[in-house]
Amino acid sequence: MKILAIFKVKEGVPMQQVLPLIAEEERLAWQKYLADQLRETYMTSQPGVVIDVFEYESVAALAHDMQALPLMRAGLLDATYYDLLPFKNWESLFAEENRTPEARRAE
């Protein structure tokens, strides 16, 4: 299952408190990457926010494993997880009422 994870340093936590834990945090992320579980990772223009895409058996399993992150253990990080599904709304484009006259004539 593909899962989007948004990690954000908690409001009011100074970066000086976060920085000593970053090397260990990144080491664990690298292990997840090598294990083919972390597929994509992005920094954002907002300090303290990282976006990751994981391949995991479930959101619950990912959330459980992420508790091992140093920033999570220290209570400095919030995480939000979303399971990613195929975007099926495009299907409505093919409904008869949404077809163009040209497409109808081509049949």
CATH number at residue 66: 3.30.70.1060
pLDDT tens digits for range 2-40: 999 999 999 999 999 999 999 999 999 999 999 999 999
Q: Is the pTM of this model over 0.85?
A: no
Contact 7, 78 (CB under 8 A): yes
CB 76 within 8 Å of CB 9: yes
Domain, as residue range, for 97: 2-105
Beta sheet of 38-43, edge-to-edge order: 38-43, 49-55, 2-9, 77-83
Q: Give me the number of domains the chain comprises.
A: 1
Compute the residue count for the chain.
Answer: 107
Q: Are 72 and 16 in contact (CB under 8 A)?
A: no
| 80 membership: H or E segment, kind and range | strand 77-83
